[in-house]
Amino acid sequence: MLTDAAFALCLTHDVDRPYKTYQSLFYALEERPRYHLGTLRPGSNPYWQFEEIRALEADLGVRSAFYVLNEPSLFATRPPREWLQVENLIEHAGRYDPTDDDLADALRELHEGGWEVGLHGSFHTADDPERLEWETRVLESVLDADVVGGRQHHLKLGPRTWEHYRANGLRYDASLGSRSSAGFLYGYEPIRPFDDEFVVFPLTAMETALPDPGADFDAAWAACEALVDEAAANDAVMTVLWHPRYFNEREFPGYRRLYRRLVEYALERGGWVGPPAELYERLYGDPGRDSVDR
């Protein structure tokens, strides 16, 4: 598939929560109180990792994709019976607006620096093409550029989500995958569900599906190394997801180091490394909107 590289590694980040808020109290009770509460201090924002990721990737000579969420208000859009459900309160804690000045500036800096900024379709857009289109247009207005593709929040796909993506002018989706299992679950090549220009890049590994590098770095690295070796042996397209908050070493020790080592090893093995939109262009041509029927 790739004529000048042994395989491809697509780097992606789902921007679920760039601000740490009261959901940390819940996670502290469920997971690691020392980390979650220790980083919840006035003036501290450990989930804002844009600069750190840019610096790490620039140092390695690679770029990635950041998928941006524009989640509707729980209280404005959902029935009252859902307002006090714990899972909904946790899910909507830290909700953000990509048009806010600080975040919009960060997204434009990424775009201007060669990173891809894509869509992270909110939970109900899998079955709501109007909302999906609205979120896409808002993000494009922030960037003053076309959005090429994206990934659905929580990897949620409906029976017609890809049709909605294609009708919305998007060229690819990266939602097909698992939060709990890593591997080439859907084969080694991108999928073309409509036998046209629209492409699906399956997710090979989310960081949460790997062994915890803070507990056993060697086991986590062995899993990543095996995936890269499998990709190289099969001329595969591999896609990984690291949520930005996992680059916060105090709260998620080992994940930043694991990500760096993964990228370095992929480059050593002769792989192409970058964002899905750039790979799309290399494989299928210019993903511009002019040739998309909308």
Question: Which residues share a beta bridge with 13?
Answer: 66
Give the range of the structural domain holding residue 210, as residue numbers without chain letter.
Answer: 8-288
Asked if residue 3 belongs to a domain, the reply is no
Q: Per residue in 167-186, pLDDT tens?
A: 999 999 999 999 999 999 99
Asked if residue 1 belongs to a domain, the reply is no
Beta strands, E only, the chain: 8-15, 65-69, 116-121, 149-152, 172-173, 199-200, 205-206, 237-241, 272-274
Task: Check pLDDT > 60 for residue 220.
Answer: yes
Q: Per residue in 42-72, pLDDT tens?
A: 556 888 999 999 999 999 999 999 999 998 7
Task: Check pLDDT > 90 for residue 225.
Answer: yes
pTM above 0.85, yes or no: yes
Q: Per residue in 253-270, pLDDT tens?
A: 999 999 999 999 999 999
Asked if residue 294 belongs to a domain, the reply is no
pLDDT at 19: 82
80 to each of 23, 74, 90, 125, how far by Cα in Å?
Answer: 20, 9, 16, 20
pLDDT at 53: 98
What gap in Å lies between CA 97 and CA 170, rounded to an integer?
Answer: 21
Q: How many domains does the chain have?
A: 1
Average confidence score pLDDT of the chain: 88
Asked if residue 140 belongs to a domain, the reply is yes
